[in-house]
Amino acid sequence: MHRFVTERIDSLLTEAEARQSCLAPLNRADKSALQKYLRSDLVRSPHRSLYARTDTWSSLSPNDRALWMARGLHTLHPEWVFSFYTAAALHGLYVPNRLLNQIHVAHIGPTCQKSRGIIVHHCKKELEPAYVQGIPVTPLLETTIDCLFRLSLTEGLPIADSALRNLDISKRQFLDLIESSGQYGAFKASKIALHANPLSESGGESMARAVMIEEGFALPELQAPIPHPLYKGRTYRVDFLWRLSGQSDVAGEFDGMVKLEDEQMLKNHSVLQTLRQERNREAALTSTGLRVMRFTYDDVRLGLPLVTLMNHYGIPHVA
């Protein structure tokens, strides 16, 4: 490949990465050059006319991949209004990974384009987009209802929790807005929104709480403060806390691997340092008499392992 072409493609890919977007070439020459890159495995194409460096793409989470594709598609189709789970991700809501494999687009009218590949087209009677970083999306409340009425409690609660937090309103106001919207699916959406809690800090924590609700367990306090046993005025926060009568309280801690994979969450510490801090933190918590119940994403996803753990720790059921 000619040196000039190579330098141009590298420059275009770097610019797209700076925008956290897939590269969407706007002329035939660039697209032809990128097709040659594909054969060398230096570049990936998650959708026709979208490209990203292979090592960069491999490092992205499912959520980030959906966002990069949406930004690239916006370059090609600035008139598209993103909807459903794609809009939810652009709004910054917690969206389960399974729902991010497709890109959802809304159009006004009785008929719309046929869905192809990863692009899913939806028809709407009315469409007044909001804008997130200049990208047209369905408004936050509309997006939330669109998502919730199609989902189970386990997959919908992460979206409801983060929507309630982003709207920065009370639970009652949240429910009133959904119920009075007149939007299709609002009744089903309100049944999930009834359990929303803005204190949930991750999609995994929300999904875990959904399992607890469905299995009839007593619900915990979220992000509960625990006084440090050695340093007055300092506290730890635990993901979940059950205050139990007649036995030691139980702290539930969701072990998301993101804590060890996300550089921002590592706060310039190595994985080893982070693990050591977690061990010291847990030792301090247990020294207060608190029992710490740790569980993983797989425990939540499968359901039964989490239920078994909660029964073992004596978490009560409610009527």
pLDDT exceeds 90 at position 152:
yes
The whole-number pLDDT of residue 260 equals 42
pLDDT exceeds 60 at position 263:
no
Which domains, ranges and CATH numbers included, belong to the chain?
3-53 (no CATH), 66-198 (no CATH), 211-312 (3.40.960)
The answer to whether residues 119 and 70 touch, using CB atoms and an 8 Å cutoff, is no
C-alpha to C-alpha distance for 30 and 12, rounded to whole angstroms: 9
Which tokens in the block code for residue 110? Answer: 């009785």
Q: Which residues contact residue 250 at a Cβ distance below 8 angstroms, ignoring those fewer than 6 apart?
A: 241, 242, 244, 290, 291, 292, 293, 313, 314, 315
To the nearest whole percent, how much of the chain has pLDDT over 70? 94
DSSP string, 75-129: HH-TT-EE-HHHHHHHTT----GGGGSSEEEEEESS--PPPBTTEEEEEES----
Mean pLDDT of 157-164: 98
Map tokens 């029992």 to a residue.
291
**pTM for the full model?**
0.88
pLDDT exceeds 90 at position 238:
yes
One-letter identity of residue 192? I
The whole-number pLDDT of residue 271 equals 60
Mean pLDDT of 196-209: 95
C-alpha to C-alpha distance for 238 and 90, rounded to whole angstroms: 28
Which region among 94-108, 201-215, 218-232 has the lowest average model confidence (pLDDT)?
218-232
To the nearest whole percent, how much of the chain has pLDDT over 90? 72
